[in-house]
Structure 1
């Protein structure tokens, strides 16, 4: 991926037995294979306010084929968070990890952070 190009990320609940379940994304981070750094992309379900290239939360396609509340999509501007010159290895890989929760509205309110707005 080239620096500054959009990268589309999706977290989805697969094969849900109950369409009323809600997927909550608490946080997502990106980190290089080398382990030199970690970047917080989402925190409490919202874009990191300290990220100079703010994320865009996108909930679903215009015609989703799965429940909208069970899919969370967001876009990052590719690796704007990388410090200049820190990664010299052209084969450096970036990994993404998200902390999620499955919530049932029957058990109480499902607080969705920015995805719920």
Structure 2
């Protein structure tokens, strides 16, 4: 079964959940607001995708950081500290599947990897 991580009111997460439902994919949803990501989970994902892929630089949470805070994120350790401090900066959704980790919503990628 797929594990989907995100925030329920995120439009990208809604698109992903709609796609999974329409394509009869079973999944469990983990809401960051109720079940925050852990360092262990971030490090597990980073075995397959880079910390850069997990860091959402397009969201409002990123834009609220000062330029100094943004430039201080230079490696997995500093990125993970920032992501743990604010799970809203994790690009959404993150999907754990038997074929690997998917980050974000891409219908074509979903078709081939789910």
With the length of structure 1 as denominator, give the TM-score of the two structures: 0.22
Rg: which structure is higher? 1
Greater percentage in strand: 1
TM-score by length of 2: 0.22
